A = this chain, B = another copy of it.
Amino acid sequence: MRATILHSPGEIRVEEWADPAIERPTDAIVRVVAGCVCGSDLWPYRGANPVDEPRTMGHEAIGVVEAVGAGVERVREGDFVIVPFDHCCGRCVHCLAGQTQGCVELAMTASGQAERTRVTNADATCFVLDEAPAPERHAAVLALSDVLPTGYHAAVSAGVAPGSTAVVVGDGAVGLCGVLSAKRLGAGRIIALSRNPHRQRLATIFGATDLVAERGAEAVEAVRELTRGVGADAVLECVGTEQSMTTAFEVARPGATVGFVGVPHGSAIPWRTAFRNNIGLRGGMAPVVRYLPELVPAVLDGELDASAVFDLELPLADAAEAYRAMDERRAVKALLRP
């Protein structure tokens, strides 16, 4: 098959690669209809994570089931499915507690930016749609494989409640989905930290009521002013750097929670603030399978639509350009069609 292969930092190409195969009876193979590039894909692309050998890329995908293992009962060939990036068994003690991201058989989609990808524990993992969505709805549905539930996880983890004031740190696709999710959870005020006019516009469309263009201590000061010195009831940390984590803690009011979903890269916690102000921290990898029964109907009904985060659509063959555009922040998120 054709697949996006990262050879070393910055060196990414679409080339021939071995088709994924059924390895366990609970596997399924999905023909990818649409995949995309995640902000976390940029870490190895930029060399922030090591790249030891050539590897396939992409953990977000929707598509059609092409083959299933002998032990797969619910999912069938020809089904149109959403593939959550984090596969789970659905039966272990952690899955049954809703902690599907902590599944004892946790695995990840490994070739979402390719023609085919393997899904482990397909029955528990795949979300089967009654019918294939129209192509113009692919972006909205694709967002359900990771970026939208991840933004939602930030909002849920931060404890966004009706009428509350939420701050969203990060104006990437996840941060924007965090804005959309805070709105869905009823936040009365949503303060988005962004200095990029295009992303500011998207944040506003998604429900941001206030925009803060400052960074660091000045951003903290701006949020304090907007909240009359009180701070935010809930903070969504959607970046994962030390500066963003510090900002998140500093804008939180005493007793608030920072919901974090950015893969942490050397992020220390501002302990003094956390200690005195009792700022909680909660989040991490989103339990996508847990959220889909709630989010999919809302997306199919059109009441929840994150598709605007995809501001670049390219054929799979141009994956390298998709990475460049996101790396240079010319695009928020790139959709790839095999």
Contact = CB atoms under 8 A, between A and B. Distances in A.
Contacts of A281: 269, 274, 280-282
Nearest to A269: B269
A229 to B, nearest CB: 8
A281 B280 CA distance: 6
Interface string A140-167: 0000000000000000010000000000
Nearest to A233: B97
Nearest to A256: B99
Contact of A280 (B253, B268, B280): B280
A173 interface: no
A255 B95 CA distance: 11
Interface in A281-330: 281-285, 287
A263 interface: yes
Contacts of A267: 271
Interface string A196-233: 00000000000000000000000000000000001000
A280 B282 CA distance: 4
Contacts of A268: 268
Given A101-B254, A102-B255, A254-B101, A93 B230 contact: yes
A277 B230 CA distance: 31
B282 A277 contact: no
A74 interface: no
Number of copies: 2
Contact of A278 (B254, B279, B285): B285
A76 interface: no
Among A99, A277, A283, A284, find the residue whose CB has the most chain B CB atoms closer than 10 A: A284
Contacts of A257: 280, 282
B284 A102 contact: no
Given A280-B282, A281-B281, A97 B255 contact: yes
A275 B263 contact: yes
A278 B99 CA distance: 8
Contacts of A263: 275
Residue in A97, A101, A230, A255 with the greatest tally of chain B CB atoms within 10 Å: A255
Contacts of A93: 230, 253
Given A280-B281, A280-B282, A264 B254 contact: no
A97 to B, nearest CB: 6
30 contacts: A93-B230, A94-B230, A94-B255, A97-B253, A97-B254, A97-B255, A99-B253, A99-B277, A99-B278, A101-B254, A101-B276, A101-B278, A102-B255, A102-B276, A102-B278, A157-B278, A264-B271, A264-B274, A267-B271, A269-B269, A274-B284, A275-B285, A276-B284, A276-B285, A278-B283, A278-B285, A280-B281, A280-B282, A281-B281, A282-B282
